[in-house]
Amino acid sequence: MSVPSVTPQLLQVAVVGFGYVFLLSTSGWLVNRVLDWAADEEKRRADGAGATDAPAAQHPESDRPGADAAGSGVVSPQDRDVGTIVGKAENILLLSFILVGAYTALAVIFAAKGLVRREDIEKNTLYYLAGTMTNVTYSVVVGIAVRVLIGLLGLGQLTF
C-alpha cells in the first residue's frame, strides 16, 4: 500500500490554516493579559503603591482605573466583547494582507480602526491603544512566522 504524496499546495494550505487558527485562538488571551497588566500598572501608579506581584485577577473590576463613571475610561464587558470581535476581524485581515505581501494595507486597517473608534479611544486611550498595538504586533509576528515557515519548507510563493 502506498502513501499518497502531499502536494506543495496542500502543505501551503495546511501551514496557512494553522497560522489562522493559532492567531485567532491565542491573540485574545495575549491582548487580555497585556490589558490586565496595563490596568494594574495604572492602578499601582494612581495608588502610589509601587510595583507588586499581585495578579490582575485579585483586583475586582470596581477597583480598576476609571471603572466608576461613564466617560472616565470605563471598559464595560460589552466594550471588551466588541473589542474581541473587532480584534478577531483585524487578525484575519492583517494576516491575510501579510500573507499576500500587501504591507501598505496594514496601515489602512490601523487608520480605519482609529477613525471608527475615535470616541472610544478618547474615553480610554490606554485600553484601546494597548489592545490595538498588541493585536497588530502579534498579527504581524504570526504572519511573518507563517511566511518564513513556508519559505523554509521550500514551498515558494503563496498561491491563492
pLDDT at res. 159:
58
Tell me how far apart the alpha carbons of residues 113 and 131 are, in angstroms, rounded to a whole number.
12
Q: Which residues contact 87 (CB under 8 A, 6 or more apart)?
A: 27, 28, 31, 131, 135
pLDDT at res. 158:
66
pLDDT at res. 59:
39
Query: Quick check: 73 and 46 in contact, CB under 8 A?
Result: no
Query: Quick check: 135 and 87 in contact, CB under 8 A?
Result: yes
Please enumerate, as own/partner, the contacts of 111-115 that have beta carbons within 8 Å and a separation of 24 or more.
113/86
pTM of the model: 0.74
Query: Quick check: 160 and 153 in contact, CB under 8 A?
Result: no
- The alpha-helical segments, DSSP class H, found in the chain are 8-47, 77-99, 104-116, 118-123, 125-152
Q: Find, among 156, 110, 153, 117, the residue nearest to 135 by Cα.
A: 110
pLDDT at res. 129:
84
Tell me how far apart the alpha carbons of residues 133 and 31 are, in angstroms, rounded to a whole number.
9
pLDDT tens-place string over residues 22-61: 999 999 999 989 988 888 887 888 888 554 554 444 434 4
Tell me the average confidence (pLDDT) per consecutive run of 10 residues in the chain, 160 residues long: 75 93 94 87 77 46 40 66 87 94 88 82 82 92 94 76
